Structure 1
Amino acid sequence: MTTPPVPPAPAAAPAAAPAPQRAAAPLRIFLTVLHLAALGVIGAGVIGILSSVFGIGLGLLFAFGIGLLFLVGLVYALYGVGWFEIVRVRGLYALDVPDLAPRRRQVPGFGGWIRSLGRQSIDGRMWRAVASFAIACIFGALVIRLFWGMVWSAIFAFTPLFAQDEVAGPFGTLVTAGWAPVLGILGVLATAAGIIGLALLDRTISRSLVIPSHKAELVERVRTTSAQREGAVRAADVERTRIERDLHDGVQPRLVSVGMTLGLAQQKIDADPDAAKALISEAHTSTKAAITELRQLARGIHASVLDDRGLDAALSALASRSHIPVHLDVRMDGRCSRDAEAAVYFSIAESLTNAAKHSRASECRVVVRLRDGGTLWARVEDNGVGGAQVQPGGGLDGISNRVLAAGGDIRIDSPQGGPTSLEVSVPCAS
């Protein structure tokens, strides 16, 4: 007896997969309508406040510069509105869109902050998000009006139950009671169509404004890459200058002295053996000191313990060699990329060196955290006299360029009288 053939799987089964997406479309439209209604309520107030701040800033611009404070606050407020709009649209339509990131300082200090604020004020992505928010607020006000028109039309459809003759229709007209249900139903359909149309139109406009264009992404990527390349070139140049200076001012004179001492010992080895032994002992001591300087110089170029045992162990070794006491607080649950850890390590090393040489500090505090979002953050603070400034080719300039090359941010605060603090934030994936 033969086995009956197994019936094939029904062909209609795979076609049922897109059903959840179709079912989700009405829900997405409903959520869009709710968003627009909420923005229609609060949007007028937000736009009014922003307009008032702008007007006050312009009006007080020449009154001892007080208006500048309002204009600076307006830039931050616009950034907040743009950030909120991107988050709202991304969550509503399930888009893969990055958050609105603030413009980073390319140069530390007050001048760097002013430049970053200027770049933020002309940030095209921020202004597109603000425009999306403003359009959504206008659409929201229209949605609220259409909703009340729908309610009125629904009530108007039942007016024959209360009136037998003519009733007041739309736009102040008089309508026969028998036509009221027809006009009411048409009004409900028209207002509902208007609400849905506004929701679909807002979806199209907000997506086109919030989602960055391919050209804008390429321009931003090129700008970021160029800034990082320039920072890497400047950092390499500063590092090369430092190595040349350390070799020329430290190791090279010591080795020359060793050579001269050995030459004198060679001349005296037959006539005065005791003096020759003393000179050889002196050359031996100088040679060990030169080896120590070379090791420190090599450690400044590349810290092998950083690759082998991580940032925590490397900073512990760095703190143990510091000439001033260092309170170290490192909390990291994992490792970051080599470039990110190297940038933070050398920033801390240079800060401790500067504190030992120039600040007359009695202690330093180093805090390192691996923050949410994949950012490696570090802060170095000493209790010295302050007054540190970024000089071209100096240590702080080297720190700034190294951090910029890693795609990070830096903030230096060193008022006269102290204390001096340095904060760096570097993406872990840099």
Structure 2
Amino acid sequence: MSAVTDTDTGADTAPVDVPDQSGAPSGRTRTLSVAASASMLVGGAAASVWFWIPLAILVIGISSIPSVIGFLVAAVVFVYLMRGVDHVERVRNEAVFGMGIAVPPRRLSHYTGFQRWAHQLWLDISSARFWKAVAHHYVRLTYDALATALAAGLLAFAFLAPAAAVATGHSDPEAGLSFLPTPLAWLLAVVALAAAVAVVVFGPALDARIDRWLLPPSETAALQHEVSALADARAGAVTSAQTERHRIERDLHDSVQPRLVSLAMTIGLAQTKLDSDPPTARALIAEAHDEAKNALVELRNVVRGIAPTILADRGLDAALSSVVQRANNSGVSTTLSVHLPRRLPDEVEACAYFVVAEALTNVSRHSSASNAAVTVRLDEAANQLHVSVFDDGRGGARVVDGDDTVDATGLRGLDERVRAARGTFTVSSPPTGPTIVTAVLPCGS
């Protein structure tokens, strides 16, 4: 892709990363299983050591506040540790219980470089999502430790009490368990063994309830995310419409208007020669005819940029095939891979079309690439359309803020268009290449 740069909104409100906003936990919970019991027992055993490690880091950080550096190092380690723990807890919940708990929205920094990293740490540590994850981990760890200790204690009693009672009956009557008759000891052992088994079998039910209580996003957070997403989509729609108006104005001014002016001048000159010099007038009329055909071609190109007819008539696959064919004609060997089992909403197809068309235009104009690849597939499980454009040219393309209406039709315009469709737009383009432009578009409400 090009070294030409385009947009990041740079708004005061940070964007949001939302892998899943499906709401409440879904699916059938598997609380009575070997995996659930094993998860609780392993968690309880690990708690004897792991419980103190994050807590020690937190205490060290707080006690190191006067030194600043020690506090910052401890804070960074604690944040990364608990972020990893949160991920592991969600993977564990899905593998053990299969609850399909939604991931809370995470605010992302809009800065770049080191400032982005530092700001992201602050956003994480100041979010309710982070501290809910910390609370969940310690509540579950404490419960697992207590449940495992209780089961181990009951199990130990079940084996030791009868043995001690029998040993007491055959030795000194003054021993400590002489008050416990052997039959009663066996009865209590059976009860303790049954209780230990019940704790191991039914204890994970509370584990699952703790997950269901603390892992999902709160209703307030979900509503805040929805409001933020709608505001961002509205801003993207407004700026995208403005950008599109500038592009149409520029295309008409730079391509169609000069041809029409030339056509009018040629026809006017032919009129002056019509009586005095008929052969010259005929040549001028033929020239005007050629100019009129060229103007029609330019108008078709402008219309294609607004609403391609082939997209409405034959669908996204055929429209993208046409775009890829033009890219091949421009000297960039381009392949197309499309997996679309059904037609998509018009606005989704239009957005995907313009992402591919503009990205390939940038490839042919700026990247010096020899090969490009376009991949379009529908993820029916998530009901999302994934669009990717790869090129092997020089890199350096990025989305930047700016008011230049010439550049606004590039990556910045694509970012605005995708945001208006409530999708996500990313550009991966290291200085040496290659460049990958990716858009993920939701295909339904």
Q: TM-score range by the shorter chain?
A: 0.7 to 0.9
Correspondence for 2:3: none
Correspondence for 2:415: 400
The structure 2 residue matched to 1:80, chosen from 82, 87, 90, is 87
Secondary structure of the 1:163 match is helix
Does the aligned pair in 2 maintain the 1:85–1:130 contact within 8 Å? no
| Residue 252 of structure 2 corresponds to residue 247 of structure 1 | yes
| Residue 305 of structure 2 corresponds to residue 296 of structure 1 | no
Deviation at 1:318, TM superposition (A): 0.6
The structure 2 residue matched to 1:262, chosen from 264, 267, 279, is 267
Whole-angstrom CA distance in 2 between matches of 1:83 and 1:232: 35
Q: What 5-or-longer segments of structure 2 have no aligned partner?
A: 1-27
Deviation at 1:44, TM superposition (A): 5.6
Whole-angstrom CA distance in 2 between matches of 1:429 and 1:389: 29
Does the aligned pair in 1 maintain the 2:94–2:100 contact within 8 Å? no
Alpha carbons of structure 1 residues 397 and 135: separation in structure 2 relative to 1, 3 Å: same
Deviation sequence 1:392-427 (CA, Å, 0-9, x none): 342100111222222332221333343332222223
Kindly report which structure 2 residues correspond to 1:70-219, keeping only aligned pairs within 5 A, or say none. 74=81, 77-84=84-91, 86-87=93-94, 92=97, 95=99, 97-98=101-102, 100=103, 103=106, 114=117, 124-125=128-129, 127-158=131-162, 159-164=164-169, 165-168=173-176, 176-178=179-181, 181=185, 201-219=206-224
Correspondence for 2:377: 369
Q: What 5-or-longer segments of structure 1 have no aligned partner?
A: 1-23, 169-173
Secondary structure of the 2:181 match is helix
Whole-angstrom CA distance in 1 between matches of 2:306 and 2:338: 25
Structure 1 window deviating more from structure 2 (25-34 vs 41-50): it is 25-34
Whole-angstrom CA distance in 2 between matches of 1:388 and 1:308: 33
Secondary structure of the 1:139 match is helix
| Residue 353 of structure 2 corresponds to residue 349 of structure 1 | no
Q: Which one scores higher on RCO, CA 8 angstroms, separation ≥ 6?
A: 2
Kindly report which structure 2 residues correspond to 1:307-346, keeping only aligned pairs within 5 A, or say none. 307-322=312-327, 323-335=330-342, 336-346=344-354
Correspondence for 1:4: none
Alpha carbons of structure 1 residues 122 and 245: separation in structure 2 relative to 1, 3 Å: farther
Deviation at 1:363, TM superposition (A): 3.3
Among all aligned residue pairs of Structure 1 and Structure 2, give the percentage whose two residues are the same amino acid.
Answer: 35
Deviation at 1:346, TM superposition (A): 1.0
Secondary structure of the 2:168 match is coil
Q: How many residues align?
A: 397
Whole-angstrom CA distance in 2 between matches of 1:192 and 1:299: 71
Deviation sequence 1:302-340 (CA, Å, 0-9, x none): 223223333221111011122232322313041343333
Does the aligned pair in 2 maintain the 1:312–1:330 contact within 8 Å? no
TM-score normalised per structure 2: 0.73
Whole-angstrom CA distance in 1 between matches of 2:412 and 2:30: 57
TM-score normalised per structure 1: 0.75
Deviation at 1:295, TM superposition (A): 1.0
| Residue 243 of structure 2 corresponds to residue 235 of structure 1 | no
The structure 2 residue matched to 1:305, chosen from 306, 310, 315, is 310
Alpha carbons of structure 1 residues 216 and 387: separation in structure 2 relative to 1, 3 Å: closer
Does the aligned pair in 2 maintain the 1:163–1:177 contact within 8 Å? no
Whole-angstrom CA distance in 2 between matches of 1:106 and 1:345: 29
Correspondence for 1:409: 424
Whole-angstrom CA distance in 2 between matches of 1:117 and 1:284: 65
Whole-angstrom CA distance in 2 between matches of 1:250 and 1:56: 67
Deviation at 1:131, TM superposition (A): 3.0
Alpha carbons of structure 1 residues 110 and 258: separation in structure 2 relative to 1, 3 Å: farther
Whole-angstrom CA distance in 1 between matches of 2:347 and 2:87: 31
Deviation at 1:120, TM superposition (A): 5.6
